[in-house]
Amino acid sequence: MALSRLSSRSTTLLHPLATTSLLRRRHISTDTTPLTVETSLPFTSHLISPPSRSVSTSSQELLSFFHDMALMRRMEIAADSLYKAKLIRGFCHLYDGQEAVAIGMEAAITKKDAIITSYRDHCTFLGRGGGLYEAFSELMGRKTGCSNGKGGSMHFYKKDASFYGGHGIVGAQAPLGCGLAFAQKYLKDEAVTFTLYGDGAANQGQLFEALNIAALWDLPAVLVCENNHYGMGTAEWRSAKSPAYFKRGDYVPGLKVDGMDALAVKQACKFAKEHALKNGPIILEMDTYRYHGHSMSDPGSTYRTRDEISGVRQVRDPIDRVRKLIISHDIATEKELKDMEKEVRKEVDEAVAQAKESPIPEPSELFTNIYVKGFGSESFGADRKELRATLP
């Protein structure tokens, strides 16, 4: 296998340090000497020549991938149990299985580049620098949540990290994302916008409208289709005549990426960013998979078999892939990784406990942030009287 070939080459470099790694992991985990790893699959491209399969990374980066993905996985599983305990209500769309997309993307871009996504946004929020406590508070509708408890699972935002949400209506974020790219071009930001949508949203007309405008005006927009093969309960082959989503841009170049391989995602995003800054929009299709159903109200097994889910989990799980890479490159041992996972679990549990204690929003919050107070007038309801906390 390609991996073992490479690892035998690189272990000659790492070997002297490998012996000390057993005693002090710290030594190697902060090592930033570049490693080169091949992606699991080659990139398939449309109207463009694909980037190379060799991704340069480092031990530190791989360990951070592992840690962050484990954190995301743990958070989603904690959200699952909170939902079943009825502390999270409404809709809760979980991202486990797709973590590599969020992590790989973050590794390739800066906080000035904007990301906008759909309602499956918990992990993207975390990737953009959001805190566990804010995320859980928001999920439970508390005041300390990232949207003050007023948004909920589908409306996570983080303005200072250029994370624009968090949108409930399928596909509505596509024109918004192109608008963000337009603003970046207008303000000469030298940044790009990653607009994420799913295979279900890929059939929305507004996506093609936005793509047309983006291509016409050369906007720095990267449209990322997170293809987890199911639009809620409808499989890809039943909803799209042409499931090659990366080719659907027609006149816009596209790239198909193995979305379960964080390094491939990183490579593709880096490539896409360079392309978008110079030549306008590009479509990335991330071939990924979600283990949970569409949302917590969907068992996820009525339209696909449990064997399929467990099969993907065994063969393509993103965290396992990185774990194997780390072990084969002797960056850390199995036990150290397990310890890291335990720490992550503890961190998540603490955040959940803290969030459970946090206060619910004041009743007067009902009327705040409807309008921006400005232009000399206060915002009232239609009867011009500002209602204060006199709710029954």
Q: Is 371 in the site for another protein (CB under 8 A)?
A: yes
Q: Of 3, 42, 64, 217, which lies in the binding site for another protein, with binding defined by CB under 8 A?
A: 217
How far, in Å, CA of 75 to CA of 94, rounded?
9
| In contact, 334 and 326? CB cutoff 8 Å | no
- When the beta carbons of 95 and 164 are compared against another protein, the nearer one is 164
Considering only residues 193 through 212, tell me which ones interact with another protein, judged by CB under 8 A: 205-206, 209-210, 212
| In contact, 138 and 156? CB cutoff 8 Å | yes
How far, in Å, CA of 180 to CA of 77, rounded?
32
Render the burial of 110-148: b for 16+ CB within 10 Å, e for the rest.
eeebbbbbbbbbbbbbbbbebebbbbbbbbbbbebbbbb
Q: Of 51, 127, 177, 280, which lies in the binding site for another protein, with binding defined by CB under 8 A?
A: 177
Q: Of 13, 244, 368, 388, which lies in the binding site for another protein, with binding defined by CB under 8 A?
A: 368
User: What count of other Cβ atoms lies within 10 Å of the Cβ of residue 1?
Assistant: 9
Q: Which stretch binds another protein (CB under 8 A): 2-10, 18-26, 149-157, 286-294?
A: 149-157
User: What count of other Cβ atoms lies within 10 Å of the Cβ of residue 323?
Assistant: 22
Q: Which stretch binds another protein (CB under 8 A): 92-100, 223-231, 232-240, 382-390?
A: 382-390
Handedness of CA 139, 65, 108, 207 (dihedral sign): negative
Strand 114-116 relative to strand 193-198, pairing: parallel
Q: Is 145 in the site for another protein (CB under 8 A)?
A: yes
- When the beta carbons of 24 and 385 are compared against another protein, the nearer one is 385
Considering only residues 38 through 77, tell me which ones interact with another protein, judged by CB under 8 A: none
User: What count of other Cβ atoms lies within 10 Å of the Cβ of residue 163?
Assistant: 23
Q: Which stretch binds another protein (CB under 8 A): 14-22, 103-111, 153-161, 312-320?
A: 153-161
Q: Which stretch binds another protein (CB under 8 A): 35-43, 92-100, 318-326, 375-383?
A: 375-383
How far, in Å, CA of 198 to CA of 295, rounded?
14
Strand 54-58 relative to strand 193-198, pairing: unpaired
Is the backbone peptide bond immediately before 131 cis, with ω within 30 degrees of 0?
A: no
- When the beta carbons of 231 and 300 are compared against another protein, the nearer one is 231
Considering only residues 305 through 344, tell me which ones interact with another protein, judged by CB under 8 A: none
Q: Of 16, 26, 383, 392, which lies in the binding site for another protein, with binding defined by CB under 8 A?
A: 383
Size of the site for another protein (CB under 8 A): 60
Q: Of 55, 70, 140, 176, which lies in the binding site for another protein, with binding defined by CB under 8 A?
A: 176
Q: Of 237, 307, 385, 391, which lies in the binding site for another protein, with binding defined by CB under 8 A?
A: 385
| In contact, 252 and 281? CB cutoff 8 Å | yes
Sequence-ordered list of residues with C-beta below 8 angstroms from that of 37, at least 6 positions apart, any chain:
3, 6, 54, 55, 57, 263, 325
- When the beta carbons of 50 and 131 are compared against another protein, the nearer one is 131
- When the beta carbons of 79 and 174 are compared against another protein, the nearer one is 174
Q: Is 303 in the site for another protein (CB under 8 A)?
A: no
Helix, strand or coil, per DSSP, at residue 38: strand
Q: Is 114 in the site for another protein (CB under 8 A)?
A: yes
Q: Which stretch binds another protein (CB under 8 A): 71-79, 222-230, 303-311, 362-370?
A: 362-370
| In contact, 135 and 126? CB cutoff 8 Å | yes
Q: Is 391 in the site for another protein (CB under 8 A)?
A: no
* Burial class, 259, CB count within 10 angstroms (exposed 0-12 / middle 13-18 / buried 19+): buried
- When the beta carbons of 37 and 174 are compared against another protein, the nearer one is 174
Q: Supply the minimum distance, in Å, between the C-beta of residue 203 and another protein.
A: 14
Q: Is 135 in the site for another protein (CB under 8 A)?
A: no
The residues of the shown chain that bind another protein, judged by CB under 8 A, are 114, 116, 145-152, 155, 157-159, 164-169, 172, 174-180, 182-187, 205-206, 209-210, 212-213, 216-217, 368-372, 374-386
